[in-house]
Amino acid sequence: MKIAQDKVVDIDYTLTVDGEVIDSSAGEQPLVYLHGHGLIIPGLERALEGREVGDSFQITVAPEDGYGERNEEAVETLERADFDDTVEVGETYYMQATDGTSFPFTVISMDGESVRADFNPPLAGKTLNFDVQVRAVRDATPEEIEHGHAHADDMDGD
């Protein structure tokens, strides 16, 4: 069975950036996702289209097909008083908008009562290198399609 819209896909992967392993499913659970629903980065999803169980490949994903380019306007100065806990440089925190939407950001520096926050995704502007193996592909259930995500407990390897 080929990977296509509304297929549930199970992959093993290793992601490297500039030769450094950033993420990997090795020794962990494989990544299971519903294909064609924008649940993984566009460049990787396109590279998986039409693949089958057992296929192994490497793909390089440019920033515009990954997490996007860095946007320097997404770096803001916040007040230290806006934080409930201790603040540490390099840590990720979340800001909640009035509509309840949560936005992650990374603290990049502190100066007195000012905190510099970077709202860019950590891998924005980076070229991503994936080593991928397709482990299983199956038809999504109507419930999975309705929910917009895979229910990972039913992979059969077709």
Greatest distance between any 2 Cα atoms in the chain? 58
Cα distance between residue 42 and residue 59, in whole Å: 12
When the pLDDT of each residue in the chain is averaged and rounded to a whole number, the result is 93
2 within some domain: no
Task: Give yes or no for residue 158 having a pLDDT over 60.
Answer: no
Query: Is the same domain home to 54 and 12?
Result: yes
Cα distance between residue 11 and residue 32, in whole Å: 7
How do residues 144-156 score in pLDDT, each as one tens digit? Answer: 999 999 986 654 4
How do residues 57-70 score in pLDDT, each as one tens digit? Answer: 999 999 999 999 99
Query: Is the same domain home to 36 and 57?
Result: yes
Report the CATH number at residue 47: 3.10.50.40
What is the CA 154 to chain-centroid distance, rounded? 22
How do residues 16-59 score in pLDDT, each as one tens digit? Answer: 999 999 999 999 999 999 999 999 999 999 999 999 999 999 99
Query: Is the same domain home to 18 and 61?
Result: yes
Closest CA to 15 of 7, 6, 25, 5: 25
> For 25-91, where are the E strands, in sequence order?
31-34, 56-61, 75-79
Query: Is the same domain home to 56 and 12?
Result: yes
Residue given tokens 């992959």 in the structure block: 11
pLDDT of residue 157: 44
Instruction: Tell me which residue range forms the domain holding 47.
Output: 7-67+124-152
